[in-house]
Amino acid sequence: MNDIECDQGHQNTMTTFTFIAGLLFLVAGAEVLVKGASRLAAAIGLSPLVIGLTVVAFGTSTPELAVSLKAALSGQPNIAIGNVVGSNISNVLLILGLSALVAPLVVARQLIRFDVPLMIALSLAVLGLSLDGTFNQLDGGILVAGLVGYVVFSVRQSRRENARVAAEYHREFGLAPKAGSNLPVNLFLVIAGLGLLVMGSHWLVGSATTLARYLGVSELVIGLTIVATGTSLPELVTSVIAAFRGERDIAVGNVIGSNIFNIMGVLGLASLVTPAGIEVPAAVIRFDLPVMIAVAFACLPVFFTDGGISRPEGAVLLGYYLAYTLYLVLAAAHHDALPEFSAVMQYFVMPLSALTILVVTVRELRKKMLWKGTG
């Protein structure tokens, strides 16, 4: 009996150590990644926003890619689809919400003009492609080809803008702005930061799951909370650290870029490698995909107001994430409080939110029209 208790105590100690180490790796990895990415942007002539939309976003989405590919090849469509949809919802509500609470976020005009509308269009496209009940290899090929086109367009657009800025700088001062140096070092920092993020998220999710089981938490709650949020930990920590360091383009670009990559890259590749296609559960079509689309649409008015995300807006986003998570838990547990909770959300919270968004959007449009008229 004493030997068993000793082994259990040793296991708990190792699990706790792994949990703490995973958390430290996440923070350190995000710090290194943001520093390397911001310097890399200057070194290769790309804006921090584009680096956040591509290098950082795609790198922090590595856990989602690994989970969805493994699930698709193992015949687990619920995980493959749910991982993408759930991550896109949590990226906006949880990650942008927490990042804005750390520091109000400034949203680049390019996001409002191009990247957020693209995210909305892709969300609608996913719903359209899912109506036949599967994502087949043709759907996956189209999404992956779209991802390649998006990266090429973003890089070219950034280089054109940077070249225009450099020309203006030269005309004004007779000099060219200095680009960052030590390209290999900055590239190594990005790769090392991504490696630490992936390792840290793996350790943290695994140890947290073990601790939850030891404490008697059900497998259902573990899957809905720890594992679901675990694949978004790299995006979460990276955006929060970026906001704290003042790299707000990277903080916001990471979220929007991750959502775009989740749809075109993660879902596209998972569909492409599955000969029979990925079956889409009816519940996802009826509930989760509409929520993902609504969250994507909500980004435009939130980003549109004052060109940023304030702390109160971040708190609202975070509140919606908590409400969504609570609904999932209540629905999975068939809790008696589910009907009342659903009624409050459906007949009070959602209409009030839609009305608020509409009023704010109309007010901002009027302000901009008046400003243009007097300019």
**Is the residue at 85 inside a domain?**
yes
Q: Which residues contact 106 (CB under 8 A, 6 or more apart)?
A: 248, 249, 252, 307, 308
When divided into structural domains, the chain yields a total of 1
pLDDT of residue 329: 77
Answer whether residue 276 is part of any domain: yes
How does residue 166 score in pLDDT terms, banded at 50, 70 and 90?
very low
- What number is the average pLDDT over the span 260-273? 91
pLDDT digits (tens, 9 = 90+) for 110-157: 888 888 899 999 999 999 999 998 999 999 999 999 999 998 888 887
Q: What is the pLDDT of residue 169?
A: 36
Higher pLDDT, 355 or 182: 182
Mean pLDDT of 259-271: 92
pLDDT for the residue 86: 84
Mean pLDDT, rounded, for 44-49: 74
Q: Model confidence at 171, in pLDDT bands (50, 70, 90)?
A: very low
Burial class of residue 361 in the structure, from the number of CB atoms within 10 Å of its CB (0-12 exposed, 13-18 middle, 19+ buried): middle
With respect to residue 370, please indicate whether it lies within any of the assigned structural domains: no
Q: Which amino acid is at 227?
A: V
Q: Diameter of the chain by CA atoms?
A: 83
28-42, 49-63, 358-372: the lowest-pLDDT one? 358-372
For residue 304, what is the domain's CATH number? 1.20.1420.30
Residue 78 counted as domain residue: yes
In a domain, 375, yes or no: no
Pairing of strands 308-309, 278-279: unpaired
Query: Across all residues in the chain, what is the average pLDDT?
Result: 77
348 domain residue, yes or no: no
Domain-located, residue 274: yes
Average pLDDT (57-78) is 76
**CA distance readout (Å), 222 to 88, 214, 227, 249, 298:** 19, 12, 6, 33, 29
Range of the domain at 258: 2-335
Residue 350 domain flag: no
**Mean pLDDT, residues 26-38:** 74
* Cα distance between residue 354 and residue 356, in whole Å: 5
Find which of 44-53, 69-78, 101-110 is predicted with most confidence, using mean pLDDT. 101-110
Give the model confidence (pLDDT) of 193-248 as tens digits.
888 877 876 776 677 667 666 766 555 455 546 666 776 777 788 888 888 888 77
